[in-house]
């Protein structure tokens, strides 16, 4: 019975890590868009990237990919972040399934 309980606990822990990765990805995308919208049009992309990496814990920064961060046209700011969920604990290995989050907001000022 003990092995079944241990395997169940490991699977539950892995589910928690995947869920936490989804939360981190969406929070980082939201923060990147928020900072980009509040900045001027000339430095939206750099502010967005800096805010994304500032929001992520160090174990998730390495495998983080920012596909899009900044203006989409003149009136929309969008960020798309892809993270990899860790296996058992952060920094060890990653699942081959990417976790993607997208956020967007209308640009301020004209």
pLDDT value, residue 70: 67
pLDDT tens, position by position, 84-93: 888 877 777 7
Phi-psi region of 109 (alpha: psi -120 to 50; beta: other; left: phi over 0): left
Query: What pTM was computed for the model?
Result: 0.80
- At 8 the pLDDT is 95
Enumerate residues 6+ apart whose C-beta is below 8 A from 79.
29, 30, 32, 33, 36, 48, 52, 66, 68, 69, 70, 102, 103, 104
Residue 44 CA, chain-centre distance (Å), reads: 18
- For residue range 14-60, list pLDDT tens digits in order: 899 889 989 999 999 998 888 888 877 677 888 888 888 888 887 77
């Amino acid at each position: 019975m003990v092995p079944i309980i241990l395997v169940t606990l490991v699977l539950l822990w892995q589910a928690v890590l995947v869920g936490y990765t989804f939360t981190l990805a969406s929070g980082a995308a939201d923060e990147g868009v928020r900072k980009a919208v509040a900045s001027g049009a000339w430095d939206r992309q750099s502010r967005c990237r800096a805010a994304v990496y500032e929001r992520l814990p160090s174990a998730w920064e390495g495998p983080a990919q920012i596909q899009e961060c900044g203006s989409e046209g003149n009136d929309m700011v969008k960020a798309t972040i892809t993270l990899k969920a860790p296996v058992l604990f952060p920094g060890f290995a990653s699942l081959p399934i990417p976790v993607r989050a997208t956020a967007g907001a209308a640009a301020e000022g004209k």
